[in-house]
C-alpha cells in the first residue's frame, strides 16, 4: 500500500489534482485524501479549490455536485457505479407533479440527489445545514425531498412550519431503529449515542446528539465521554478511531456498499487516465448551480 500511496501523491503533484473523500470511504483512502468531510464540507471545498483535476472519492451525485460547482475543471470519480439508493428514489416527473400539487411552495432539496433533480429545486441543503436553510425561508409551507427522515427531523426543530416530505430514505439509516438504541444503551451504559439526521426520528430523538458526519467529529472532540455509539454508516467509526485513538466507538454493521466501491487502485487509475469524467449538461448545471448558490448565501 505504501508504494500505491506514494504513486498517488506523485500523480497529484504532477497533475495539480485534489482528492476529496467522504467520511464513509475506505480507511486507506483517507491516507491520500486532501480533504475528508461531509456533504457540506465537500461542496465548500469543491467550490473553492484551485486544482485543475478533482478526484471525487464518494458516490456519483457528489461528483456531479463538484462538476456543477467547477464547470471549468475536470472531475473524475474512481468508480462511476458508486450510486445512492436515496437519490434514485426521486425522479423529475414525480418532483414536477409534487410541485404542481403544491403551487408556490418552495422546494428544499437534499444534496443527496441527481443534478436533474437539483435543477428543479429552489434551494439545496445538507444534513448539517438543513434546519438553517428551512428557517431562512419566509414561507410557512416547505417541500423537503428526497429524505423523509431528514424532513421529520427538520419538522421537529421548526414546528411552526409545515414540512411536506417526499417518501424517500437512505436504506442504511432506515434500518437503525429504536430497539437498537435501547439495546446499545444496555450494552454500553457509559457511552454517548450520536445519530445522523437520516435515521428515523425516533432514533434521532433517543440519541444524545443528532449530527452530520463532520459535526460528529466535533461532538466527540468536545464531549468528555470516552465511549460513543455511532448511528450511521458503519465506516464512520473508522474515521473517528483515526482522529480519536483514545476513545472507544461502537456501531451496528450498516454498510453502504456503494461508498466502498472506490479503492486506492481505482483512484490511481483515474489519476493516470483522467477518467471516468463526470459531466453535467450545461442547461441542467446552470439551474442546479443557482440552487447551490442560494444555499451558500444562507
Q: What is the CATH number of the domain that holds 92?
A: 3.40.50.10800
Three cell numbers at 288? 442546479
Mean pLDDT of the chain: 93
pLDDT value of residue 43? 76
**83 and 59 in contact (C-beta within 8 Å)?**
yes
Sign of CA dihedral 142, 144, 148, 153: negative
pLDDT value of residue 206? 95
Nearest partner of 112 among 163, 149, 75, 79, judged by Cα: 149
pLDDT band at 46 (very low <50, low <70, confident <90, very high): confident
Nearest partner of 207 among 237, 225, 229, judged by Cα: 229
pLDDT value of residue 238? 86
Q: Are residues 228 and 244 in the same domain?
A: yes
pLDDT value of residue 39? 76
What is the pLDDT averaged over residues 116-127? Answer: 97
Q: Are residues 183 and 232 in the same domain?
A: yes
Check whether 154 has a pLDDT greater than 80.
Answer: yes
pLDDT band at 21 (very low <50, low <70, confident <90, very high): very high
pLDDT band at 151 (very low <50, low <70, confident <90, very high): very high
Q: Are residues 268 and 293 in the same domain?
A: no
Check whether 10 has a pLDDT greater than 80.
Answer: yes
Q: Are residues 51 and 69 in the same domain?
A: yes
Check whether 107 has a pLDDT greater than 80.
Answer: yes
Q: Are residues 163 and 92 in the same domain?
A: yes
Q: Are residues 6 and 20 in the same domain?
A: yes
Check whether 253 has a pLDDT greater than 80.
Answer: no
Q: Are residues 53 and 201 in the same domain?
A: no
pLDDT, tens digit, 9 for 90 and up, residues 190-238:
999 999 999 999 999 999 999 998 899 999 999 999 999 999 988 898 8
Q: Are residues 164 and 206 in the same domain?
A: no
DSSP states along 75-132: EE-S-TT---TTGGG--HHHHHHHHHHSTT--EEEESSS-HHHHHT-SEEE-TTTHHH
When divided into structural domains, the chain yields a total of 3
Q: Are residues 151 and 291 in the same domain?
A: yes
Domain span including residue 239: 176-250
Q: Are residues 117 and 136 in the same domain?
A: yes
Sign of CA dihedral 35, 40, 46, 49: negative
Q: Are residues 182 and 156 in the same domain?
A: no
Element (H, E) at 69: helix 60-69
Check whether 55 has a pLDDT greater than 90.
Answer: yes
Q: Are residues 230 and 99 in the same domain?
A: no
Amino acid at each position: 500500500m505504501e508504494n500505491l500511496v506514494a504513486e498517488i501523491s506523485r500523480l497529484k503533484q504532477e497533475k495539480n489534482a485534489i482528492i476529496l473523500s467522504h467520511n464513509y470511504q475506505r480507511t486507506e483512502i483517507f491516507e491520500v485524501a486532501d480533504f475528508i468531510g461531509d456533504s457540506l464540507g465537500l461542496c465548500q471545498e469543491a467550490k473553492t479549490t484551485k486544482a485543475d483535476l478533482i478526484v471525487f472519492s464518494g458516490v456519483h451525485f457528489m461528483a456531479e455536485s463538484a462538476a456543477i460547482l467547477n464547470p471549468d475543471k475536470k472531475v473524475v470519480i474512481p468508480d462511476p457505479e458508486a450510486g445512492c439508493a436515496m437519490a434514485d428514489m426521486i425522479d423529475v416527473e414525480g418532483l414536477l407533479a409534487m410541485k404542481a400539487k403544491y403551487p408556490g411552495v418552495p422546494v428544499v432539496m437534499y444534496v443527496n440527489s441527481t443534478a436533474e433533480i437539483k435543477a428543479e429545486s429552489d434551494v439545496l441543503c445538507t444534513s448539517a445545514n438543513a434546519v438553517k436553510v428551512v428557517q431562512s425561508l419566509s414561507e410557512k409551507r416547505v417541500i423537503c425531498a428526497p429524505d423523509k427522515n431528514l424532513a421529520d427531523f427538520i419538522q421537529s426543530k421548526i414546528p411552526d412550519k409545515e414540512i411536506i416530505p417526499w417518501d424517500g430514505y437512505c436504506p442504511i439509516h432506515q434500518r437503525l431503529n429504536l430497539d437498537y438504541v435501547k439495546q446499545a444503551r444496555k450494552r454500553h451504559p457509559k457511552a454517548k449515542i450520536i445519530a445522523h439526521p437520516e435515521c428515523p426520528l425516533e432514533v434521532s430523538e433517543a440519541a444524545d446528539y443528532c449530527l452530520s458526519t463532520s459535526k460528529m467529529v466535533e461532538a466527540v472532540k468536545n464531549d468528555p465521554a470516552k465511549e460513543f455509539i455511532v448511528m450511521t454508516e458503519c465506516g464512520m467509526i473508522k474515521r473517528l478511531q483515526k482522529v480519536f485513538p483514545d476513545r472507544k466507538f461502537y456501531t451496528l454493521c450498516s454498510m453502504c456498499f456503494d461508498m466502498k466501491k472506490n479503492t486506492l487502485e481505482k483512484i490511481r487509475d483515474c489519476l493516470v487516465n483522467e477518467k471516468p469524467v463526470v459531466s453535467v449538461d450545461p442547461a441542467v448545471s446552470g439551474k442546479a448551480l443557482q440552487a447551490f448558490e442560494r444555499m451558500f448565501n444562507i
